[in-house]
Copies of this chain bind each other. A is one copy, B any other.
Amino acid sequence: MELGVFEDKFEESYKRNEFITFFCKCKIVYSGRAEASLGKGDRLVSVKQDGTIFVHQPEGGNPINYMKSGGSIVIIKQDYGVLFKAHNSATREYLELEISRVYEFMARKLDDGQKQIIAGTEADMSDMIKDNPSLINDDFKPLSREEHTKFGFIDVFGHDKKGTLVVVECKRYVAGLDAVQQLRRYVEKIKELKGTDKVSGILASPKISPNAEAMLKNWGFSWKLVNPPMRLIRHNKTQKALDAFLS
């Protein structure tokens, strides 16, 4: 595409707050929370309707460069082509694309008021545990869930028949050292606040790393295998399918 045409189209679409996206060859410089530069290559550039910008290389999961909404973009003609300057004065970030060619260009006003509904999160997991406390222990009595305190928030909090307080930390996948320390912090704080040593800590997750398990035991905590709700279903399904297949 001729760069003059690109300039005009971009200006017009940008003014209208359209979703703009184009393939181009460019060099990139970013300055802000870090400093980054990227030599000349072909990329996809998108400008969303709220001003969010992202640049994708032909491969890889993440944008190579991006800017959050709240900035402004100007297009300036240069001898080598076109300079695409994005600036966010609030965050003092710059993103500059030295565009030497534009291959294809699309822009359109998109209409979408939908929000995603999601299941199988850590919150669902703590819900499940509160509703089915035997997943943790036969005499576990949950009292609260997702309780925010000033030192963090506790996924599930309760006690057992002997009156020992119980703190449960959930992880939806492999629990690592960080999860153990999170649990440790909560248990210590509860002990401090309640003035008792009778507080037990339980880590609930589908897996735990060996180092994390060692540290957990070292601190007198325990681990309970719990799958996040939908993962459990899927796993069972798969198991059955596998069992049937193998039998």
Give the interface of A toward B (CB within 8 A): 19, 21, 23, 28, 31, 33-44, 46, 48-50, 52, 54, 56-61, 64-66, 68-69, 92, 103-104, 106, 108-121, 150-152, 173, 177-178, 181-182, 184-185, 211, 228, 230-231, 234, 238
Contacts and interface: CB of A to CB of B under 8 A. Distances in A.
Contacts of A69: 59, 61
Contacts of A184: 181
Contacts of A120: 33-35
B19 A21 contact: no
A59 B52 contact: yes
A111 B173 CA distance: 36
A24 to B, nearest CB: 9
Contacts of A34: 118-121, 228, 230
Nearest to A230: B35
Interface majority SS (helix, strand, loop, mixed), chain A: mixed
A-B pairs with the 8 shortest C-beta distances?
A: A41-B112, A34-B120, A42-B110, A58-B110, A50-B59, A39-B114, A181-B181, A36-B118
Nearest to A50: B59
A243 to B, nearest CB: 16
Contact of A111 (B42, B113, B181, B228): B42
Contacts of A43: 110, 112
A226 to B, nearest CB: 16
A211 B153 CA distance: 13
A151 B211 contact: yes
Given A38-B114, A44-B19, A58 B68 contact: no
Contacts of A151: 177, 211
Contacts of A103: 108
Contact of A114 (B21, B33, B41): B41
